[in-house]
Amino acid sequence: MSFNPEKWNVDLTKHRKRFFIGSGLSIVLGIVLLLTFGLNLGVDFESGSNVEIQADQTLTQEQLLDDFAAINESYTPNITLGGEQSQSATARFTVELSKDEITAIQTYFQDKYGHSPNVSTVSPLVGQELARNAILSVLIASLGIVIYIGFRFHFLYGVSAVIGLLHDAFIIIALFSLFQVEINVPFIAAVLTVVGYSINDTIVTFDRMRENINKEKEIKSFEHLAQIVNKSLLQVLTRSINTVLTVLFAAVALLIFGGEAIRSFSLALVIGLIAGTYSSMFLCAQIWLVWEWKRQKKLKNKPKKTEEEYI
């Protein structure tokens, strides 16, 4: 087999039903995961408090739990260690700490470790507003994409692209539900980053499809249209793989070496890049192929007006 995909004797459009079934099963499984496991929402989207602890020595979860118990026996925060030698940690409280409680915690850790912890608190109203704005930002981005692609290409291109974007975002959310990774503001930034990257890859694919279609005088059959789409996919396959690998290397490096603070961002980026490449090549183009042929069939079967009807 040649390393030039354009010369491969591979029909990607022939397996479109398998791609549709695979994506459909993934969505159903994701819904089941959300209903059973739910989402591990961070303090950014739920009321609570985060205590960021710094020390000049290695910290352990048991040690920090004992420290909080010494301050107040009812304190049982969720501890996450960070840093190369676990010299930093984040304690998450599901309740909103009062000013007196924050002062007591800061005084205790200042006296014991020589560093006053940073405490951030989110009220229920702020958490709900952040969650609402996050959903709204994704919807506005999707609407803008539909309008732009509909104007630049055709309405069916835009709808197909947004279906792919929503598919990518849902895959990220489903896997975060499975692994119970905390969802915070950096996670939303990663989703929007994936949306931008994925739509860029999709537009390149669509542009090649449109270019090849314009070279044809007439689309004679569904097989003819499928052949054009398949040719376009093979032509951009090398470009798509090379592009995603270069970005993926950077995202994996962030995931491994970036630390706990951006762990959700880098993980969502890695998942989204893989899902976005898949949807651009094997979902959006295939959806457009089916819908476009139905549209052309309607245009061909539409009866032409006689001269009397024009008068």
Q: Where residue 97 sits, what CATH number does that domain have?
A: 3.30.70
Question: What's the confidence (pLDDT) of residue 1?
Answer: 44
For residues 289 and 144, membership in a common domain is answered with: yes
Task: Tell me the residue range of the domain where 201 lies.
Answer: 9-41+125-297
For residues 137 and 239, membership in a common domain is answered with: yes
- Residue at which a domain ends, from 122, 152, 170: 122
261 compared with 282, residue with greater pLDDT: 282
116 burial (CB, 10 Å; 0-12 / 13-18 / 19+) is middle
Tell me if 311 is assigned to some domain.
no
Instruction: Give the tens place of pLDDT for each residue, 131-180.
Output: 777 778 777 877 787 787 777 777 888 888 888 888 998 999 999 999 88
For residues 198 and 57, membership in a common domain is answered with: no
160 contact partners, CB below 8 Å, separation of at least 6: 284, 285, 287, 288, 291
- Residue at which a domain ends, from 90, 122, 154: 122
- For the chain, the domain total comes to 2
Instruction: Give the tens place of pLDDT for each residue, 15-68.
Output: 889 999 999 999 999 999 999 988 887 776 777 788 889 888 888 989 999 999
Tell me if 304 is assigned to some domain.
no
Tell me if 303 is assigned to some domain.
no
Tell me if 1 is assigned to some domain.
no
Q: Which pLDDT band holds residue 181 (cuts at 50, 70, 90)?
A: confident
Q: Where residue 287 sits, what CATH number does that domain have?
A: 1.20.1640.10
Instruction: Give the tens place of pLDDT for each residue, 186-241.
Output: 888 888 888 888 888 888 888 888 898 888 878 888 888 899 899 888 888 888 88
For residues 213 and 290, membership in a common domain is answered with: yes
122 compared with 234, residue with greater pLDDT: 234
Dist. CA 217–CA 289, nearest whole Å: 18
- 311 pLDDT exceeds 50? no
The bridge status of strand 78-82 relative to strand 118-122 is unpaired
**Residue 22 pairs with which residues in a beta bridge?**
none
Tell me if 207 is assigned to some domain.
yes
Tell me if 78 is assigned to some domain.
yes
Instruction: Give the tens place of pLDDT for each residue, 82-120.
Output: 777 788 888 888 788 888 899 999 999 999 998 889 888
For residues 156 and 250, membership in a common domain is answered with: yes
269 contact partners, CB below 8 Å, separation of at least 6: 190, 193, 194, 251, 254, 255
